[in-house]
Amino acid sequence: MIKIGVIGCGFIGTQICLAVDSGAIPAEIFGIFDFSDEKADAVLKLFKNLNGTPQKYTPEEMIESCDLIIECASQEAVLKYALPAAENGVDLMVLSVGAFQDPDFYRKVRETAAASGSKVYIPSGAIAGTDGLKSAAIAGLTSVSVTTRKPVSGLAGSPYLIENGIDLSGLKEPKLVFEGAAAEAVVGFPKNVNVCATISLCGLGFEKTNVRIIADPTISENIHELEVYGDFGHMKMTIENKPSPQNPKTSYLAALSAVSALKRITDPIQVGI
């Protein structure tokens, strides 16, 4: 059984731990880490210890002892721990994909993982269509765009809104709050549009992927619309995600995609990759 270390004990980290502890995945949670000891302790209390008994460790200790590190914390955590994991030949799953908008960092992680023989897994997250987009990219793409609509509570506190003095309180109608390249979107909305980073990596890159972010007080879902043109034809995909009960910024599907990726990693048969 592979030994897993989880960085981040919020919504996604908790769901991953529950899925592994249920025995449905041939893996063991070796350790967990969060800035907050209380959050880590709360997750430890949920374990029935069906597949081993996890403990709190530092990320460095988990990198020493685990086969796979799952980052479900923040872009800062990716910047801090992706290279040490790759240097140690440890596989990594990344949810805070926006950290890869820095091309030098992405290149270094890729080269280091290639040299040590480790893998970096990026689940499809809160969006669908990455399979078709990757296939379409083989023949050539002419445009890729993502429109994200979220309730106001899901966007609140984003650095872009604060830096640009955009106040959403009392909003009655949908409002376009950002339009531009994915490279800028994932920095300005680091907890909202990691999906755009994943789409960038599958398609045209961070500079050529167009992003629109709409604050919409009339909806309760996190909605992502993907539109792609290329030699393959035209693709349109809309997903209406239920936000997680614990974190309105994050859709339930994001956690499910991490669990599904874990199932694929540990399964000898790969379907629809």
Ligand X SMILES: NC(=O)C1=CN([C@@H]2O[C@H](COP(=O)(O)OP(=O)(O)OC[C@H]3O[C@@H](n4cnc5c(N)ncnc54)[C@H](OP(=O)(O)O)[C@@H]3O)[C@@H](O)[C@H]2O)C=CC1
Q: Identify the burial level of 229 via C-beta atoms within 10 angstroms of its C-beta, where 0-12 means exposed, 13-18 middle and 19 or more buried.
A: middle
Using CB under 6 A, which residues numbered 228 to 247 contact ligand X?
247
Q: In the beta sheet, which residues pair with residue 225? A: 147, 238
Q: Rounded to a whole number, what is the distance in angstroms from the first to the last CA of the chain?
A: 22
* Nearest distance from C-beta of residue 139 to ligand X, angstroms: 25
Q: Which of 29, 70, 72, 186 binds ligand X (CB under 6 A)?
A: 72
Residue among 28, 30, 8, 11 nearest 20 (CA): 28
234 is catalytic: no
* Nearest distance from C-beta of residue 89 to ligand OAA, angstroms: 28
Residue nearest to ligand X (CB): 10
Helix (H) or strand (E) segment spanning residue 41? helix 37-46
Q: In the beta sheet, which residues pair with residue 32? A: 6, 56
**Gyration radius from the chain CA atoms:** 18
Q: Which of 19, 27, 69, 126 binds ligand X (CB under 6 A)?
A: 126
**Which are the contacts of 165, defined by CB distance < 8 A and separation ≥ 6?**
none
Residue 9 or 136 with smaller CB distance to ligand X: 9
Q: Does 125 bind ligand X (CB under 6 A)?
A: yes
**Does residue 126 have a known ligand-binding role?**
yes
Q: Which residues bind ligand OAA (CB under 6 A)?
A: 125-126, 191-195, 222, 241, 249-251, 254
Q: From the annotation, which residues make up the binding site for NAD(+)? A: 126, 194
Q: Which residues bind ligand X (CB under 6 A)?
A: 7-13, 33-36, 39, 72-74, 76-77, 95-97, 125-126, 191, 194-195, 198, 247, 250, 254
